[in-house]
Chains A and B, each alone.
Chain A
Amino acid sequence: MATYVPANEPLIPLRIESVAKRFGEVTALGGVSFEVQQRACFGLLGPNGAGKSTLIRSIAGRVRPDTGSISVFDEPANSAAARAAMGWVPQELALYWLLTCRENLEAFGRYHGLRGKALREAIEWCLEWAGLGERADATVKTLSGGMRRRLNLAAGLIHRPRMVLLDEPTAGVDPQSRNRIFEMVEGLRKQGTTVIYTTHYMEEAERLCDRIVILDHGRVIAEGTKEELVTRSFGGRSDVLMRFSSPNPGATEWTLCHGGTLDDGVAHFSLAQPADIASLLEAANGANLEVTDVTLRRPTLESVFLQLTGRDLRR
Chain B
Amino acid sequence: MIYTIVRNGFRALRRDRGGLILSFILPIAFFSIFGIVFGGMRTTGTPRVSVLVVDEDRSPVSERVVRGLQHEPALLVSTRPDAKPGARTDEPVPADYNAATAETAVKQGVAPVALIIPPGFGANPIAFGPATDRKVISILQDSSDPVAAQVVAGMLQKVVMTSLPDTMAEMGTKYIAQASGGLSPQQRENIASNISRFRSQMPSHDQQDDAESGEASGFVAVKVRDVVGEKKRSPMISFYAAGIGVMFLLFTASGAGGSLLDEAESGALDRMLSARVSMTTLLAGKLAYCTLLASLQLVIMFLWGAAVFHLDLFSHLPGFFVMTAATSFAVASFGMLLASLARTRAQLAAISTLIILTMSAVGGSMFPRFLMPEMMKKIGLLTFNAWAIDGYTKVFWRDEPISHLIPQLAVLVGSGIVLFLIARLFARRWEYA
Chain A residues with CB under 8 Å of chain B are 23, 54, 57, 60-64, 80, 83-84, 88, 90-97, 108, 111-113, 155-156, 159
Contact = CB atoms under 8 A, between A and B. Distances in A.
B308 interface: no
Contact of B273 (A54, A62, A80): A62
Given A62-B432, A64-B432, A88 B271 contact: yes
A94 B275 contact: no
Interface string B248-288: 00000000000000000011101111111100000000000
Contact of B266 (A92, A112, A159): A92
B271 A108 contact: yes
Given A23-B433, A111-B277, A62 B270 contact: yes
A156 B433 contact: no
Contacts of B276: 80, 83-84, 111-113
Interface in B153-184: none
Given A83-B275, A112-B275, A92 B432 contact: no
Contacts of A96: 268
A93 B266 contact: yes
A94 B267 contact: yes
Q: Which of B266, B274, B277 is most buried by chain A, counting CB atoms within 10 A of its CB?
A: B274
Q: What 7 A-B pairs have minimum CB-CB distances, sorted nearest first?
A: A94-B267, A92-B267, A111-B275, A90-B267, A63-B433, A94-B271, A94-B268
Contacts of B433: 23, 54, 57, 62-64
Contacts, number: 57
17 contacts: A61-B274, A62-B433, A63-B433, A64-B432, A64-B433, A83-B275, A84-B276, A88-B274, A90-B267, A91-B267, A92-B266, A94-B266, A97-B266, A111-B272, A111-B277, A113-B275, A159-B275
A88 B266 CA distance: 14
Given A83-B276, A111-B276, A112-B276, A63 B432 contact: yes
Interface of B: 266-268, 270-277, 432-433
Contacts of A91: 267
A83 B274 contact: yes
Contacts of A155: 271
A145 to B, nearest CB: 15
Nearest to B262: A97
A155 B266 CA distance: 14
Contact of B268 (A60, A63, A95): A95
A90 B270 CA distance: 9
Nearest to B275: A111
Contacts of A93: 266-267
A170 B94 CA distance: 80
B268 A62 contact: no
A92 B268 CA distance: 9
A23 B268 CA distance: 23
A90 B271 contact: yes
Q: Which of B268, B273, B276 is most buried by chain A, counting CB atoms within 10 A of its CB?
A: B268
A224 to B, nearest CB: 29
Contacts of B432: 62-64
A111 B285 CA distance: 12
A1 B266 CA distance: 30
Contact of B274 (A23, A54, A60, A92): A60
B344 to A, nearest CB: 16
B255 to A, nearest CB: 14
B266 A156 contact: no
A91 B161 CA distance: 84
B259 to A, nearest CB: 9
B270 A94 contact: yes
Contacts of B273: 61-62
Contacts of A83: 274-276
Contacts of B277: 111
B319 to A, nearest CB: 36
A63 B431 CA distance: 9
A156 B271 CA distance: 8
B357 to A, nearest CB: 28
B302 to A, nearest CB: 28
Nearest to A62: B270
Nearest to A23: B433
B265 to A, nearest CB: 8
A297 to B, nearest CB: 38
Given A61-B274, A92-B266, 10 more contacts: A61-B273, A62-B273, A63-B432, A64-B432, A90-B271, A93-B266, A108-B275, A111-B276, A112-B275, A159-B275
Contacts of B270: 57, 60, 62, 88, 90, 94
A266 to B, nearest CB: 39
Contacts of A94: 266-268, 270-271
B266 A95 contact: yes
B403 to A, nearest CB: 41
Contacts of B268: 94-96
A298 B274 CA distance: 41
Nearest to A77: B274
Contacts of A57: 270, 433
A60 B432 CA distance: 11
Nearest to B272: A111
Nearest to B259: A96
Contacts of A97: 266
A72 to B, nearest CB: 11
Contacts of B272: 108, 111
A112 B271 CA distance: 10
A25 B287 CA distance: 37
Nearest to A109: B275
